Structure 1
Amino acid sequence: MTGRKLRILQVLRAPVGGLFRHVADLTRALERRGHELGIVVDTLANDAQTETLLAALEPHAALGIHRRPMPRLFGPGDLVTPFSVGRLARRLDIDILHGHGAKGGFYARLAPFIPRRTRIFYTPHGGVLHYPAASASGRVFHRIEKALMRRTAAIIFESAYARQTYEALIGAPACPTSIVHNGLNDEEFEPVPPQEEAADFVFVGELRDLKGIFPLVEALALTTGPGGRPASLVMAGEGPERARLESRIVELGLDGRVRLVGSQPARTVFPMGRCAVVPSLAESLPYVVLEAAAARLPLIATKVGGIPEIFGPTAAELVPAGDAAALAGAMRGFLADPQAADAAMRQRLAHVRTGFSVAAMTDAIEALYQADAANPSA
């Protein structure tokens, strides 16, 4: 640990997905460096997966895991939770209050009567950036963002794309900003070889429109390998569009070529395919791309969000979002020349290993905390 021991409270809504992965990694790493951590999460999201994730994090959260109502959209919890977060920050004598995502960022920065020395940080994680400026909800959220800048010690963007999008939608931040990429742990760079019976392609993600699941199966229908062999696909995940996806698979005549295996950890699913496909229509800085690159899978992805930052020297290979024909072309290219895909994979691996580690992520965020805590009047 560099600098003094800090008392840190992190606020987020749903403890699932990449946002929670980031908070969990940061919590564990900062706790190992001698800081004391607490977490505020949504009391409305309490399924078995949530409870398992939070139970695993409890030993690293000396200041406790606290539940507060955090509705996905506007609701009664939005009126009471900021006051509750403020009271909690006072009771725990917090040095750093860090809001993650749209709701976490709102609650942290709206919290009243926090200790004078408490500094408030905010990481959007996509969140408010996914709301178009022309939509009613977008206009509301963007106005709130502008108003809350004066209560923000710094905005930490997880990608250059996120900062550019924020500036385009909301305006240049009036507070300091920093780009700190998400990172992986050392063990996640262990290779994951494909099973002998692996499908050609594997998808890991939520089954909803935004993840590009429909262009993916439409692309598969256009994809054959050498000799005209039909390509195969494993899809891991659950979500609101599963039933519609199943119907579309049948409509396309793919029911023998696509296998849905439900929600499973990425590294459990990766061996089921020889090439990972991330066909998202929108993203921030998706962990699944980092994880697939680190696991040494050839990778096809769309040119959205911060994915070009992860692809680095191989960014020219990215395909347009929502374009089934372009996606099919990339998939056929993998089947036709797996050696070229393997060479590109090794370039990506070197790039990700160098710039996307939990240690580097924690170093950067801890340095921001310490610098601001040392100068609370700034």
Structure 2
Amino acid sequence: MKILHINAGLENGGGLYHIIQLLKEAKAQNADFTLLTLADGPVAQAAREAGIKTETFSKSSRYQLSILKDLKNFINQGGYDIVHTHGARANLFLSMIHRQISAKWLVTVHSDPLKDFESHGIIGKVFTRLNCRSLKKADGILAVTNRFKEQLIHDIRLNPKKISTIYNGIAFTDNPLPKINHEGFNIVNVARLVPIKGHKLLLQAIKTANIPQLKLHLVGDGPLESELKQYVFENQLENQVEFHGYLKQVQINQLYQTADLAVLTSYSESFPLVMLEAADANVAILSTKVGDYQVMIPTEEYGFTAEIGSVESIASQLQAAYQKHVEQVLPSIAQRERTYLSTNFSIENQFNSIMKIYQQQLEGCKNDL
């Protein structure tokens, strides 16, 4: 079975991590996977560093349609059985040539396709419509949560028989970095500084919770940085909030060594890998009820959940987590969560599930002959 994964190549967050981790696992399993990026950016760089077979197309324009002929020839001449796309641009290009290739075409929906371009005005509406049309043409769809699957069925009207839920996974470490003793109550938020991640909610909740010992470490960059820093200054939170900017994973892991709680206050998420990463580092987690949150945090014994968009709910959960910290039971919650997640949401589980979908697609193709 010969598989080609295609991505625009400009991802620099969860999408990049998802693709690279999956292809690294495929390499470890000796599966014949190749990555093709439509630009020589962060994804191709990370793939090469990981020793993944990587090809890159580069055009002067991101939407230069002359790439379609090159793409069709690359797929057909390469003898690929499955083409698997990630992201709206890759989806659009495959939708335009899918009848001209012999491979089956699958798409992973990493995020809400109706919200991906909502801040881009009229152009965003056009891209949203094109992406949704592209999804309807694919042979199969992999949704990273059941909530996304239901949305694809009811809001975009995709054929439910084409959609499978495949939860994200990570490569859990055998020996996490040791925790470092520290004063206070350290919480970490790893997310791009964009509206959908709810950073303003988190800052407001910290002010409402009024926990003097709390110190928030914000990891990430983005267009809201100046606005968030202004809010911190105006509300006299400078001593409780530190902006770290973009950090590499090794730096984030070091930050987790002194962290008591990882927090995600997004308005929308798929199945957030940052929460899996925090749990892998033995850090307790708090998330708004995004994606299939109940699968990641099944009960309060495994972590903390807050209502989406509610400052009061987030503040209440911060106070609850702090109380567990004072009682010195927060580490046991983190360890329980890590054991649960590493058993159920490893990258190996994810890879095996995807391989089953590939096989079903090819068997279905043979049955049609």
Shorter-chain TM-score range: 0.7 to 0.9
Asked if 1:333 corresponds to 2:305, the answer is no
Question: Quick check: 2:184–2:213 contact (8 Å CA) kept in 1?
Answer: no
Distance 1:244 1:35 in 2: 46
Contact 1:9/1:94 (CA < 8 Å) preserved in 2?
yes
Amino acid across the alignment from 1:234:
H
The partner residue of 1:33 within 29, 36, 52 is 29
In structure 2, relative to structure 1, the CA distance for the partners of 1:223 and 1:301 (3 Å cut) is same
Residue 11 (structure 2) aligned to one of 8, 15, 25: 15
Query: What is the aligned partner in structure 2 of residue 122 from structure 1?
Result: 107
SS at match of 2:187: strand
Shift of 1:204: 1.2
Evaluate the alpha carbon distance shift between residue 81 and residue 206 of structure 1 in structure 2; reply closer, same or farther with a 3 A threshold: same
User: Residue deviations 1:41-96, cap 9 Å, x none?
Assistant: 242x73xx556413313x221xx32134598xxx633x344443222212322111
Deviations 1:195-252, CA, capped at 9 Å, x for gaps:
5257521111111221111111111122334xxx342211111111111111111011
Correspondence for 2:49 = 56
1:3 alignment counterpart: none
* Equivalent position SS for 2:230: helix
Q: Does 1:308 align with 2:300?
A: no
Helix, strand or coil: the match of 1:76?
coil
Compare 308-317 and 246-255 and name the one that shifted more. 308-317
Q: For residue 258 of structure 1, report the CA deviation from its aligned partner.
A: 1.0
Asked if structure 1 preserves the Cα contact closer than 8 Å seen for 2:104 and 2:362, the reply is yes
C-alpha separation in 2, matches of 1:158 and 1:280 = 16
Give yes or no for contact 2:187–2:262 (8 Å, CA) kept in 1. Answer: yes
CA distance in 1, matches of 2:58, 2:112: 19
Amino acid at match of 1:331: L
SS of alignment partner, residue 113 of structure 2: helix
2:356 is aligned to 367
Q: Take 2:215 and 2:196, find their aligned partners in 1: how far apart are those partners?
A: 22
Instruction: Report 1:254-333 matches (<5 A).
Output: 254-264=237-247, 265=249, 266-314=252-300, 317-333=304-320
- CA shift at 1:276, angstroms? 1.0
Q: How many residues align?
A: 358
Q: 1:160 matched to which residue of 2?
A: 146
Alpha carbon RMSD of aligned pairs, Å? 2.9
Please identify, of 93-102 and 179-188, the stretch whose mean Cα deviation from structure 2 is larger: 179-188
Task: Calculate percent identity across the aligned residue pairs.
Answer: 19
| TM-score (ref. length: structure 1) | 0.84
Per-residue deviation, 1:318: 1.3
**How many Å separate the matches in 2 of 1:94 and 1:35?**
13
1:186 to 172, 175, 180: 172
CA gap 1:180/1:263 in 2 versus in 1, 3 angstroms: same
- For the residue of structure 2 that corresponds to 1:128, the secondary structure is coil
Change over 3 Å in CA distance of 1:217–1:149 after alignment to 2: closer
Structure 1 residues 168 and 121, CA gap change in structure 2 (3 angstroms):
same
- Once residues 69 and 164 of structure 1 are traced to their aligned partners in structure 2, the CA distance between those partners, rounded to angstroms, is 36
- Structure 1 pair 359–150 and aligned structure 2 pair: CA distance change class (3 A): same
Task: Please give the secondary structure, in 1, of the residue aligned with 2:317.
Answer: helix
Equivalent residue letter for 1:169: D
Change (3 A) 1:103 1:115: closer
Q: Is 1:66 the counterpart of 2:56 in the alignment?
A: yes
Q: Which moved more, 1:346-355 or 1:213-222?
A: 346-355
For residue 60 of structure 1, what is the amino acid of its counterpart? I
SS of the aligned residue for 1:318 comes to strand
Q: Which amino acid aligns with 1:11?
A: I
Give the SS at the match of 2:209: coil
Q: Which residue of 1 aligns with 2:341?
A: 352
Question: CA separation in 1, counterparts of 2:269 and 2:237?
Answer: 27
Q: 1:293 to 1:89 in 2, by over 3 A?
A: same
Q: 1:194 to 1:268 in 2, by over 3 A?
A: same
CA contact (8 A) 1:220 1:232 kept: no
Given the superposition, is the C-alpha separation of residues 168 and 311 from structure 1 closer, same or farther in structure 2, using an over 3 Å criterion? same
SS of 1:312's partner is coil
State the 1:178 CA deviation.
Answer: 1.3
CA contact (8 A) 2:86 2:107 kept: yes
Task: Name which of structure 1's ranges 100-109 and 351-360 shifts more when overlaid on structure 2.
Answer: 100-109
> How far is the alpha carbon of 1:111 from its aligned partner?
2.4
Kindly provide the amino acid, as one letter, of the partner of residue 322 in structure 1.
G
Could you list the per-position Cα deviations for residues 137-178 of structure 1 after superposition, in whole angstroms to 9, with x for gaps in the alignment?
Answer: 676556545644564221111111211121232014265221
Structure 1 distance, partners of 2:105, 2:255, is 38
- 2:70 and 2:305 map into 1 onto residues whose CA distance is 44
- Residue 28 of structure 2 aligns to which amino acid in structure 1? R
Cα-to-partner distance string for 1:100-145 (whole Å, 9 max, x where unaligned): 12222222332256442x1111111115242599x86676556545
Gaps of 5+ in 2: none
* Separation in structure 2 between the aligned mates of residue 203 and residue 248 of structure 1, nearest angstrom: 17
1:99 aligned counterpart, secondary structure: strand
Which sections of structure 1, spanning at least 5 residues, go unmatched? Answer: 1-5
